[in-house]
A and B are shown apart, each in its own frame.
Chain A
């Protein structure tokens, strides 16, 4: 992962600041940086969103394709995640450098969504055992400035909210053969219910405290972080310790508590924002990538 070199003096400065709930950029321990969200940014996807968090920038595209359901769960569709760490984000990703990070991130995303309520997978079924919708969620890291997990999860939620899946009709002919017909009307489409889609909160243990949305400098001062995926009602769908250090049980409990609180509070404003943007429809000014 992208790293920065931090001198000993800087470390002490950051550490002491965090001890007094005042971070280098003026935030408190549980504050996020400035966040910008824009949906429907890539026209040839079925749903897309771009999120910038501080200097971290993530682009997510969702493509819906018809596939075959998994043999064990014939009446559900499924999601596929792929995280591409572009060399634009940091020179370390050049060549195969970003591959490992990409697999790690996508593995976490699979875990986050591996439960029955995050997304209604039944609604993605077309005909049980034969056809279903497969949502390919492609994540592109444009710029890395710490806290990738949170930015990605928010971008995924926004992109899924924005996703429009065409409606299909199944007609069967006389011989029992089935045919899939796509609706002619481009506005006749299905939306995905994203109410239960979780957001990831990364808590970085710095000194004796933990901070939300750590910058790269803060991350360099910490040995271990905890990532927690929280839904709007506070259910934790995934948690995981990342980084080379260990944590004592008490701080894990504290961090879980903070993560749940922060994560829960993230959803309502996010949904409001997404709905607001949607209601603007054609009037909205597109910002795109030139911001």
Chain B
């Protein structure tokens, strides 16, 4: 464990009281309505609250709130690239950074980035890259950072949506928006846009096979730019899951479009 000399340090080990207390409702029912009243086996995504251009310093920014999941994303650039040694200077470079605020999860997240954050950053990068016209920005880089303020499930999916919206808000040329949707399969039933408990509850119990799936989708080009699944799924459930997630993305599409139009209107009011 590397010692962190650049921060105020606390005790070497500490334990979250959540681990000591008994776990209420850790047993997740795989039947019946979901904890937050949404429908199982249906494309029942949480209603989202989305805003553009909240951060004054950034070129573009977006904030998304779905249930208790809260994310903020900022875009800086295009600016001169940091890495001059890259051979391919004909197209721009996209960098992504996903971070969880220390207080964003039930258990405290340490400041030093774990491999999970890096993995999410990579997934976000792969999901966004096909949508950005990077060849329009030679010798420059565009930095996308996402901060998860509160993680109540489906963080990656919402990070993708939020980041693509921030890119659009920054006026970066894109082929399409990127929307994210995730799904959790438990036995033969599934839940769309799972909450934190639905995502992680399986670790403690249930002998049923389960799997998680996140899809990033370009709605008007009908292309999948990001796909990730883990857990156990048959080919049929995976295929069905991908279709369901696409449907979930289409549900999100009009909301995101409306927010973007609103942001553009505000930035450049129509001359009457």
Asked if A and B touch directly (CB within 8 angstroms), the answer is yes
Residues B231 and A256 in contact, CB atoms below 8 Å apart: no
A112: which B residues are within 8 A, CB to CB? Answer: 230
Residues B223 and A246 in contact, CB atoms below 8 Å apart: yes
For the complex, give the distance between the alpha carbons of A256 and B234 in Å: 10
B234: which A residues are within 8 A, CB to CB? Answer: 234-236
Q: Is A73 an interface residue (CB 8 A)?
A: yes
A253-B242 contact given A235-B234, A246-B218, CB 8 Å threshold: yes
Q: Is A269 an interface residue (CB 8 A)?
A: no
Q: Is A249 an interface residue (CB 8 A)?
A: yes
What is the total number of residues of chain B having a CB less than 8 Å from a CB of chain A? 36
Q: Is A248 an interface residue (CB 8 A)?
A: yes
Contact-residue size bin, chain A (C-beta under 8 Å from the other chain): 35 or more
Q: Is B151 an interface residue (CB 8 A)?
A: no
Residues A246 and B203 in contact, CB atoms below 8 Å apart: no
Residues from 233 to 256 in A contacting B, C-beta threshold 8 Å: 234-249, 252-253, 256
Residues B230 and A246 in contact, CB atoms below 8 Å apart: no
Q: Is B209 an interface residue (CB 8 A)?
A: yes
Q: Is A114 an interface residue (CB 8 A)?
A: yes
Residues A116 and B209 in contact, CB atoms below 8 Å apart: yes
Q: Is B3 an interface residue (CB 8 A)?
A: no
Q: Is A260 an interface residue (CB 8 A)?
A: yes
B233: which A residues are within 8 A, CB to CB? Answer: 235-237
For the complex, give the distance between the alpha carbons of A249 and B227 in Å: 10
Q: Is B67 an interface residue (CB 8 A)?
A: no
A238-B203 contact given A245-B130, A247-B223, CB 8 Å threshold: no
Q: Is B228 an interface residue (CB 8 A)?
A: yes
Q: Which of B218, B225, B232, B239 contacts A115 (CB 8 A)?
A: B232
Q: Is B271 an interface residue (CB 8 A)?
A: no
Tell me the number of A-to-B contacts counted with CB atoms below 8 Å: 101
Q: Is A186 an interface residue (CB 8 A)?
A: no
Residues A236 and B223 in contact, CB atoms below 8 Å apart: no
A237: which B residues are within 8 A, CB to CB? Answer: 230-233
B19: which A residues are within 8 A, CB to CB? Answer: 71-72
Residues B115 and A107 in contact, CB atoms below 8 Å apart: yes
A76 to chain B, nearest CB (A): 10
Residues B224 and A241 in contact, CB atoms below 8 Å apart: yes
Residues 66-110 of A, flagged 1 when their CB comes within 8 A of B and 0 if not, give 000001110000000000000000000000000000011011001
Going nearest first, the 4 A-B pairs with the smallest beta carbon separation are: A246-B130, A246-B223, A246-B225, A241-B227
Extra pairs beyond A107-B119, A236-B232 (15, CB < 8 Å):
A73-B203, A73-B204, A104-B122, A106-B115, A107-B115, A111-B228, A111-B230, A237-B230, A240-B229, A246-B130, A246-B224, A247-B227, A249-B224, A252-B227, A253-B242
Q: Which residues of A contact B (CB under 8 A)?
A: 71-73, 103-104, 106-107, 110-112, 114-117, 224, 226, 234-249, 252-253, 256-257, 260
Q: Which residues of B contact A (CB under 8 A)?
A: 19, 115, 118-119, 122, 126, 129-131, 203-204, 207, 209-211, 218, 221-235, 238-239, 242-243, 246
Interchain residue pairs with CB less than 8 A apart (22): A72-B19, A103-B118, A103-B119, A106-B115, A107-B115, A107-B118, A110-B115, A111-B230, A115-B230, A115-B232, A116-B232, A236-B211, A236-B234, A237-B230, A238-B229, A241-B228, A244-B130, A246-B218, A247-B227, A252-B242, A256-B235, A257-B235
